[in-house]
Amino acid sequence: MSGSLNPAPEPRSIFVVEDTADVARVLCTTLTNFGFRPEHFLTGRDFLHRLRSEVPALCIIDLGLPDMDGIELVRKVRQNRGCPIMILTGRHHVTDRILGLELGADDYVVKPFEPREVVARINSILRRVDRARCEGRGEHRIACFAGWSFTVDCNRLVAPGGREVELSLAEARLLEAFLERPNRILSRAQLMGEHELESLDRSIDVRVSRLRRKLQDGAAAPELIKTVYGAGYLLNTPVEWSPE
């Protein structure tokens, strides 16, 4: 066991919202070259839609978008999702930049930019955010169950062997709901809970089965989430929270 190699970390995803194709291409190519997994969106609308199913490690938002005010978009992301934001802006939009930072963007880059500088700034933001989240202010809670650990604030799920498993925001909230009430039957309504995201069209059953798949660590591992027919689901393991 001790001699086994750790698998390479999953590339972290970066959402790029930029309506100028050339700029987006340069950014995405550079991000890929530096080991990130970029996803490009031409409109704020497409981006917001995608954000419902996955929260990236960081998003890059161009302030001049065709369908939406970039500042408004920054505000929405900050209110709802809490992922770090880097703003792209034209040289003359100084007030936009300031407004963007006041609204919670983490940094900004003025066009035209040097792609490597963007990557350096992204790395610096991510280091800062990781530190703040995981070394934290004593407010992060960790649940340990059946050899797994889940850190609530950063939605970090680690398998018994140390492998990190990526969760969507909806899956993370679902897991949290189970961990708060282990060994109890939870109805679908309870699992939807107060965290339920608006207009999320996937049913709770689909979400449970996705989470269940992710919680499988090898074929012999027992099934952690049991279906209770006609009633709901149950997390079949004790959970230890720290701090309690």
Please report how close the Cβ of residue 146 comes to Ca ion at its closest, in angstroms: 48
- Distance (Å, rounded) from C-alpha 202 to C-alpha 204? 7
Q: How many Cα atoms within 13 Å fall on the side-chain side of residue 29?
A: 8
DSSP 94-153: HHHHHHHHHTT--EEEESS--HHHHHHHHHHHHHHHHHHHHT-SS---EEEETTEEEETT
In the sheet with 13-17, reading across from the earlier edge strand, the strands are 37-41, 13-17, 58-62, 85-89, 107-110
Contacts of Ca ion in 202-231 (CB under 5 A): none
Q: Which is nearer to Ca ion, 66 or 218 (CB)?
A: 66
- Grouping H, G, I as helix, E, B as strand and the rest as coil, residue 3 is coil
Taking CB positions, which residue lies at the least distance from Ca ion?
A: 64
Which of 28-36, 54-62, 149-157, 210-218 is the region at the interface with Ca ion (rule: CB under 5 A)?
Answer: 54-62
Rounded Cα distance, 156 and 163, in Å: 11
**Does residue 82 bind Ca ion (CB under 5 A)?**
no
What minimum distance in Å lies between the beta carbon of 75 and Ca ion? 18
* CB closer to Ca ion, 97 vs 156: 97
Task: Please name the residue that has the structure tokens 């499988």.
Answer: 216
Binding mask 11-40 for Ca ion (x = CB under 5 A): --------x---------------------
The contact pattern for Ca ion, residues 177-206, with x = CB under 5 A and - = no contact, is: ------------------------------
Tell whether residue 64 is a contact of Ca ion (CB under 5 A). yes
Query: Quick check: 62 binds Ca ion (CB under 5 A)?
Result: yes
Please say which residue, 77 or 179, places its beta carbon nearer to Ca ion.
77
* Structure tokens given for 148: 């797994």
Closest to Ca ion by CB, 19 or 153:
19
Residues 6 or more apart in contact with residue 240 via CB below 8 angstroms: 143, 144, 145
Q: How far is the CB of 73 from Ca ion (least distance, A)?
A: 12
Whichever of 31 and 186 has its CB closer to Ca ion, that residue is 31
Q: Is 17 or 224 the residue whose CB approaches Ca ion more closely?
A: 17
State the pairing for strand pair 13-17/37-41.
Answer: parallel
Rounded Cα distance, 132 and 175, in Å: 22
Cβ at position 118, least distance to Ca ion in Å: 15
* Binding site residues, Ca ion, CB under 5 A: 19, 62, 64
